[in-house]
Every structure is written in C-alpha cells, then in structure tokens.
Amino acid sequence: MTDPLGWLDEYARKREAAGLRRRLRPRAAHSDLVDLAGNDYLGLARDPRVTDAAARAARTWGGGSTGSRLVTGTTEAHVEFERQLAEFVGAESGLVFSSGYLANLGAITALAGRGDLIVSDALNHASLIDGCRLSRARVEVVGHRDVTEVRRVLAERLEERAYVVTDAVFSVDGDVAPLAELVAACREYNAVLIVDEAHGIGVFGEGGRGAVHAAGLAGAPNVVMTATLSKSLGAQGGVVLGPAAVTAHLVDTARPFIFDTGLAPAAIGAAAESLRILRAQPKLADRVRANAQALYRLTLAAELTGTPPVGAVTSVLVGDPDLAVELAALCAERGVAVGCFRPPSVPDGRSRLRLTARADLSAGDLELAGAALRAVAEQAKPHALDPVVQTNMRRGLDN
C-alpha cells in the first residue's frame, strides 16, 4: 500500500528548494535583541500594568471563558471592554471575537452571502481574503488602492447588496487605504465599507483612534471596522466595531462568534488596561510613527531600498527569499530581531525584511538598528536587486 501522505515529503522538498521552508523558533522569555519583528507597536505587551491586569482578570474570571459567548463565555469584563473600545474609536458598538482572524471571518460571512458582491483590494490580509471566500458572495479583486476600479465594479453590478473590503493599513508595506474615497464610493453606490484596523488602532488618528477616525469617518453608518487586540493593545483577540444593528446581527449569525469559545478573560484584562494607558498617554501613537520614520531614514542612510512608512511599518526590499532569511539572521547576530517576509506573504521576487517600530524604542535601540542595516547593506552588495522591482520601489509603486 502506498503512503497516502507520501506527497507531503515531495512538497516539502519543493518548498525547501524554493527557499520557502518555515521553521518555528521558540523565543526565550527574555531576549537582549531589539524587537523590530513583533507587532507590539506601543510596547505594552510586557508592560507590568498590562500583565498584572491580565493576571487579575484570570483570577477573577478564570483561565478560560468556559464557553461560547452565547452560553457562558461573556463576562462583564467582555461587555465593558466592548463598550470602552467602541467609544474610543467612535463606533456605536463593539463585539469581541477570539482573534482578529475570526473577527474578519465573522463580519464578512455574516454580512455578505450568495447573491451579494464583495470588492476586495488585491493586497488584503489573508483573513479578509478567507472571509470573502467563505461568504459565497461574488468576489471581485481590484488593484491595490484603485478607487476607480472599485467604483466601476460597484456601478456595473447586478447584485443589490455590495461590500468593499480593505485593510486600513496594509500589513506588509504599511501603506494606507484611500478610506475617504472608498466611503464616498460606497455612499454613492449604496455599499458598505468593511475596514480592517489591525494596524491602524494605536498608530493612526487622534491618540491612536485609528485610520477610520483619522479620516473623519468614525461612526459612519456604512462603515464596519474590524481589529485585532494583539498588536497595539498588547493582548490577544479580535473585535468588530460599527453600527449596533451590525453587531446584533453578528451575535445572531456569525459562526466564528457563535461556535467558538469566548476570548479568555486574561486577554480582555490586558487589552482593557492597554486601552486605559493609551487614553492616558495619547502621544504613544505619535511616538511609534516617529520611530518608524527614524528606521526608514536609517535604511536610506545604509543605501538600502525601503518603503516609506506612513504608520509603524517599513520594509527593506531584498527580493530573493534565501537572501532575506540570511539577512534577517545577520540582523539577529547584530542584536536586532526583524521580520522576514517571503512568498506567499509577499509576491514572488518581493521578499523583504520588515521593520516594525515601537513607541518605546530608545536612542540606543535605533543606533543598534542602524548598525545592523549597514551590515545588511554590506552583505547584500554582491546580490544585485531585481532592477524592475528596484525601479518600482524608487518610484513608490511597490505599494
């Protein structure tokens, strides 16, 4: 009898040959590396106020939430946090899911279904893409930030109900969606905008209220936001924010809400404390953006090609996936942890190092990052970058 899973070895060999094997590298509790790889934008995940709040919530409510949100998994802490976060971003209501991924699956599949249209940006996060696929709606993928194409697809549709789905801030290059224009298009063509604020909250807008708030669209009746609690809020979990009619509909119909155990109380405790800190220190959001600019300047000073940051993220273009892995390891040797993005997270030939700024980076941290980038430039010299990609990067077309 042949091994029915024998093909896995062959596929693994192909990924190995293409430089696309991924290995889990468990991190130690304490590291001397400057962390430019995680998404802890405000540096709150390890803040003692946040970790104490997580421990307190666990002691009060338990290690887990004990059941689905509709059975025993909704504590008073969940509801209070939903109220506070909705108020912070200017939405009418909020509904917590156990991850940002599930918040996206829940929002999209509960709102859009067979016979509806979804217009989706080509560079949307995988969780938005999967929500579109699961919804059974007709999905039209449009060019990145191409509002003209969005308008055309909306105008030509035969479906009555339509949704435009986009990241607020795109996770790889860190660029921002044209939210005001998209909302205007949605208004004109009677559609709803679903915006993923995973990388917007805590980074954009007044005091970190997000990109939708920054665009003056908070509370708009045709805007639904989703977000994760795992980045700026230093915790875990996801949330949908928007009109109360939407969250009520999700409570009744969103499968990732109904059939999933409620988010652990410790995560709610941590996220609520981070939100309290962010309210008390609204400058944290400005600081993370300023530090991203500093990282970009260091990239250019090292004569590397980088993406200009609008929020917390800047990337150094490498091209070849094996070289990207090698350069990320070099950064680690030089005391700096950076992200390494390879296909399928980025298109072929666009592998890169991703540098994520944090609000709490010190001058010494930035100095170390500068030295690591100079070492990267030195090691990358013999590997000329793909000239087409390089030209596009210079023209700012890589977004």
Residue ranges that bind ligand PMP, judged by CB under 6 A = 99-101, 104, 125, 127, 167, 171, 196, 198-199, 228, 230, 238
Could you tell me the smallest distance in angstroms from the CB atom of residue 228 to ligand PMP? 3
Give me the least distance between CB of 227 and ligand PMP, in Å please: 8
Q: Are 232 and 205 in contact (CB under 8 A)?
A: no
143-176 burial, b at 16+ Cβ within 10 Å, e below that, comes to ebbebebbbebbeebebebbbbbbbbbbbbbbbb
Q: How far is the CB of 166 from ligand PMP (least distance, A)?
A: 10
242 token code pair? 């928007």
When the beta carbons of 74 and 166 are compared against ligand PMP, the nearer one is: 166
What is the phi/psi pair of residue 337, to 5°? -90, 125
Residue (of 310, 318, 298) closest to 145 by Cα position? 310
Judged by CB, which is closer to ligand PMP: 196, or 398? Answer: 196
Cβ proximity to ligand PMP: between 125 and 334 the closer is 125
Cβ 356 to ligand PMP shortest distance, Å: 11
Under 8 Å between Cβ of 302 and 195: no
Beta carbon of residue 325, minimum distance to ligand PMP (angstroms, whole number): 20
Q: Cβ 110 to ligand PMP, closest distance in Å? A: 17
Quickly list H helices, 302-362. Answer: 321-333
DSSP-based three-state secondary structure for 224: strand
Taking the C-alpha atoms of residue 278 and residue 234, their distance in angstroms, rounded to an integer, is: 11
**CA torsion, ordered 315, 316, 319, 323, to nearest 10 deg:** -120
Quick one: tokens of 183?
């909302």
- Closest CB 229 distance from ligand PMP, rounded Å: 7
**Residue 39 vs 93, nearer CB to ligand PMP:** 39
- Smaller CB separation from ligand PMP, 334 or 350: 350
We find the least distance from the C-beta atom of residue 151 to ligand PMP, in angstroms, to be: 24
Q: Which of residues 199 and 350 has its CB atom nearest to ligand PMP in the complex?
A: 199
Residue nearest to ligand PMP (CB): 100
Least distance CB 37 / ligand PMP (angstroms): 12
Decide whether 246 or 312 has the Cβ nearer to ligand PMP. Answer: 312
**Structure tokens belonging to residue 106:** 């829940």
Helix (H) or strand (E) holding 39: none
Name, in order, each residue with C-beta under 8 angstroms of 366's C-beta and a sequence gap of 6 or more.
Answer: 291, 294, 295, 298
- Are 347 and 46 in contact by the 8 Å Cβ rule? The answer is no
Angle in degrees, CA 218, 137, 143, rounded to 5: 65
Q: Which residue's CB is nearer to ligand PMP, number 167 or number 360?
A: 167
Instruction: Decide whether 258 or 371 has the Cβ nearer to ligand PMP.
Output: 258
State the CB neighbour count (10 A cutoff) for residue 386: 15
Q: At what angle do helices 100-111 and 126-135 cross, to 10 degrees?
A: 30
